[in-house]
């Protein structure tokens, strides 16, 4: 790659692309299993994460299918009460800690951050590989927990149920999440050091892609919040195994202490899932509109604002747990405040699209799906931040619907948008855009059909985590299960046409979307060491022509 091309703004000329010699792409660096399992290439490690979390997504989705089949009828005629508890626990544990949290950071953060900042790799390549092995090791404990019959505590592991009364598989589940937490901490450290130390000459903080900004904020949460969870789970195991009185009142412990510690991590963990998704959508919106993102610094600082305020709102999960009135009022106010930086992003994405030259491709449709579902989840989150409403709908399906609109409707839709946007860069093949658009449509319609009825169920008073319910709720439950079938079809289609594209897809050019960014100046798939020469950046992020044309 010529150094001169990298000096020039893409508004003045296209950055010249140098096609690597045969066998120089990261995919062609060695095809043996050993070469993959011992790799320190950030791109290959990203692919390993992609394969691993896809398998865990399938496990969580199967558990969700059992839940929706059980709820087709008011009577518990498919699963017993204990079996139903185990199904939603498996669904929650696997989906949250082995898909939602690692999905975008560990796959696309790993693959793209060095490319986006002009680095040859992450700061600690061996640590990066170690984090994947730690993640897999934690996953093996999850599989062992499933093999021995699962657990029935719910994914939140509330004490004293988890520390004293539930079955012995709880220790396996707690160990799995404990180990996975260390993988997250190592990944966060790697991202922080990489972004601080390995940026290319000229890649100032004001020229960083917003994808990098959101991953930087996410890494801060990973490093600061995850140790709280790991210590908390260790205390639960100590109480269960050693009989120490930490959380169980019968032993002199305090169960509310567990809730404070758990939610101090778990509410920031919501932003571990959402912030990377916001970074993805920022990239997709600017590429589709071919315009510089409106209010770049507002969006960048709002990511840091979300990370900061996210540490101060855990108490809104405890409005009905005996928390003091003034503490609840303070947490309610802070929960409303955290919506401001999220709203800034939505407004700025909308302003970016205004009068843009919109490219209607599958990735953009996923981005629009994210915005619609995230806004719905955010508005209902504001409702739950208000004491009077939260007391009424606490522990009902209203909370289930809100959570899924944010986590699944938001994070998973953004993940699929990232897959479709960067698939040609990762694997050097184009996929069928028509099927991608159909999948995006199925997911958006199926998701709303699945979870919007649950808002109505919750407001009408149906509690969550019940496998039997009054017959008057059956119509909405059947509607929800029907939507889940359409949603499953939308999730399954990409697996077919994307895998098909690996063998039969058209070869991808370096920049199929005419997008800005250093990752689009290298071949598809990229060379092992990313750049032939260290790039020197002299232009701002998203430096598109003023008229919005590619």
What's residue 546's pLDDT?
61
Indicate the pTM of the whole model.
Answer: 0.93
In the chain the domains, ranked by start, together with CATH numbers, are 39-521 (1.20.210.10)
DSSP track, 254-286: -HHHHHHHHHHHHHHHHHHHHHHHHHHHHHHHH
Cis peptide bond upstream of 235, omega within 30: no
Task: Give bridge partners of residue 429 from the DSSP assignment.
Answer: 507
Reduced to 3 states, what is the DSSP secondary structure of residue 449? Answer: helix
Integer Cα distance of 240 and 168 in angstroms: 9
pLDDT digits over 125-145, tens only? 999 999 999 999 999 999 999
Helices (H) and strands (E) in the chain, counts: 18, 0
Task: Give bridge partners of residue 25 from the DSSP assignment.
Answer: 527
Tell me what the mean pLDDT of segment 344-368 comes to: 92
Q: How many CB atoms lie under 10 A from the CB of residue 464?
A: 18
pLDDT digits over 398-449, tens only? 999 999 999 888 899 999 999 999 999 999 999 999 999 999 999 999 999 9
Integer Cα distance of 331 and 124 in angstroms: 38
Q: Does the structure show a pLDDT above 90 at 476? A: yes
The separation between the first and the last C-alpha atoms of the chain, rounded to the nearest angstrom, is 22
pLDDT digits over 188-240, tens only? 999 999 999 999 999 999 999 999 999 999 999 999 999 999 999 999 999 99
pLDDT confidence bin for 543, thresholds 50/70/90: confident
Q: Does the structure show a pLDDT above 70 at 500? A: yes
DSSP track, 163-202: IIIS-TTHHHHHHHHHHHHHHHHHHHHHHHHHHHH-PPTT
Integer Cα distance of 102 and 339 in angstroms: 23
């Amino acid at each position: 790659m010529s150094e001169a091309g990298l000096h020039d703004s893409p508004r003045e000329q296209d950055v010249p692309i140098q096609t690597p010699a045969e066998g120089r792409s990261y995919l062609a660096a060695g095809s043996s299993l050993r070469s993959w399992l011992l790799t320190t290439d950030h791109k290959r490690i990203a692919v390993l994460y992609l394969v691993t979390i896809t398998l865990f997504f399938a496990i969580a989705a199967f558990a969700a299918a059992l839940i929706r089949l059980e709820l087709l009828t008011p009577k518990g005629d498919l699963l017993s009460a204990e079996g139903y508890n185990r199904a939603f626990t498996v669904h929650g544990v696997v989906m949250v800690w082995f898909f939602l949290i690692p999905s975008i950071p560990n796959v696309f953060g790993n693959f793209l951050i060095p490319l986006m900042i002009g680095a040859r790799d992450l700061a600690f390549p061996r640590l990066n590989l170690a984090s994947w092995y730690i993640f897999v090791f934690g996953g093996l404990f999850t599989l062992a927990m499933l093999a021995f019959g699962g657990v029935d505590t719910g994914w939140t592991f509330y004490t004293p149920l988890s520390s004293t009364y539930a079955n012995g598989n709880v220790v396996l589940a707690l160990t799995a999440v404990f180990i996975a937490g260390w993988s997250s901490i190592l990944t966060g450290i790697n991202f922080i050091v990489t972004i601080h130390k390995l940026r290319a000459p000229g890649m100032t903080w004001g020229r960083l892609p917003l994808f990098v900004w959101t991953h930087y904020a996410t890494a801060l949460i990973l490093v600061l919040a995850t140790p709280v969870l790991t210590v908390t789970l260790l205390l639960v195991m100590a109480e269960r195994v050693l009989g120490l009185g930490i959380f169980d009142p019968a032993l002199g412990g305090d169960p509310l202490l567990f809730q404070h510690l758990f939610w101090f991590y778990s509410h920031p963990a919501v932003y571990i899932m959402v912030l990377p998704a916001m970074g993805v959508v920022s990239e997709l919106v600017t590429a589709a509109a071919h315009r510089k993102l409106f209010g770049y610094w507002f969006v960048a600082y709002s990511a840091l604002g979300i990370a900061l305020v996210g540490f101060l709102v855990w108490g809104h999960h405890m409005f009905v747990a005996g928390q003091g009135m003034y503490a609840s009022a303070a947490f309610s106010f802070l929960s409303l405040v955290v919506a401001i930086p999220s709203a800034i992003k939505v407004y700025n994405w909308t302003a970016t699209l205004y009068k843009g030259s919109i490219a209607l491709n599958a990735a953009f449709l996923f981005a629009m799906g994210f915005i619609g579902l995230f806004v719905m989840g955010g508005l209902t989150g504001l409702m739950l931040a208000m004491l009077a409403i939260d007391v009424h709908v606490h522990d009902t399906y209203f909370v289930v619907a809100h959570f899924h609109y944010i986590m699944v409707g938001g994070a998973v839709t953004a993940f699929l948008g990232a897959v479709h946007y960067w698939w040609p860069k990762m694997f050097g093949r184009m996929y069928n855009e028509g099927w991608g658009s159909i999948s995006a449509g199925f997911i958006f319609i199926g998701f709303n059909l699945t979870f919007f009825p649950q808002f109505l169920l919750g407001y009408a008073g149906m509690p969550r985590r019940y496998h039997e319910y009054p017959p008057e709720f059956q119509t909405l439950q059947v509607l929800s299960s029907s939507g889940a079938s359409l949603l499953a079809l939308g999730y399954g289609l990409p697996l077919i046409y994307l895998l098909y594209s690996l063998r039969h897809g058209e070869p991808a050019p370096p920049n199929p979307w005419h997008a800005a960014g250093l990752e689009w100046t290298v071949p598809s798939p990229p060379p092992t060491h990313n750049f032939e020469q260290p790039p020197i950046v002299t232009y701002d992020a998203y430096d598109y022509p003023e008229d919005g044309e590619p």
